[in-house]
Amino acid sequence: MEEHTQRELEEESREHGDMIQMDFLDSYQNLTVKTMMMMHWLATHCQDSSYAMKVDADIFVNIFYLVKLLDGSPSRGYITGSVIRDGRPRRGRKSKWYLSEDVYAEDCFPPYVSGAGYVFSVDLAARISWASRFVRVIALEDVYVGLCLRVLGVTPAYAQSFLTLRNLFEVRRLEYDRCTYAKRVIVNGFKPSELLDIWSDFSQGHLSC
């Protein structure tokens, strides 16, 4: 990393106290490394917390709905999001998600939550870290967490509205509408400037929906 970039990161960290930096290349192929480092950090420093959320940088998060969702949710052994139950490895070498049979021999994946955004009880961080010792690393970080959950015997909970069967963790982009977003925990696919504009409107007007 360029020295001036590192200095800027350290200055931002001193000012806001909201950054954690690890020693690895931040790339798509290393997302699993990043996620497991996150689990280790949570297990080490956040044992008194109830829940944690992993979310991508391009995601809108409705924190108001999220708090309601977690009210009364299990406090241990709990992970929720958009659950994928029919995932299969891509064998085409040109695929971004290519997995060879040498790396992953099974024909399907266990249930896992989409890596766009998911929430889990903090006790799972240490348990997932422990389970990772028995699971071969693959580049698909959300699938990898699912493989660790299988070792633990933990089944992810699908987050949906029981009245409308609507997915609360929307892993596709929806055109912004305040009241549509008020009924989701996350929505996918935004630039930083778009998130700032959406949050400015949503945070002030979501209660009117």
Q: Does residue 208 belong to any structural domain of this protein?
A: no
Q: Does residue 153 lie within any of the structural domains?
A: yes
Q: Is residue 204 part of a domain?
A: no
Tell me if 194 is assigned to some domain.
Answer: no
Cα dihedral 133, 134, 136, 138, rounded to 10, equals: -70
**Cα Rg of the chain (Å, integer):** 18
Residue 50 lies in a domain: yes
Number of residues that make up the chain: 209
Residue 195 domain-assigned (yes or no): no
> pTM higher than 0.95 for the full model?
no
Per the structure, the count of domains in the chain is 1
Domain membership of residue 202 (yes or no) is: no
The domain containing residue 49 runs over which residues?
Answer: 27-58+65-164
Is pLDDT above 70 for 161? no
Query: What mean pLDDT is predicted for residues 161-174?
Result: 80
Which residues share a beta bridge with 90?
Answer: 98
Residue 41 lies in a domain: yes
pLDDT in tens, 63-103: 999 999 999 899 999 999 999 999 999 999 899 999 999 99
Question: Is residue 152 predicted with pLDDT exceeding 70?
Answer: yes
Under 8 Å between Cβ of 169 and 117: yes
Whole-Å CA distances, 71 to 37, 40, 75: 27, 25, 10
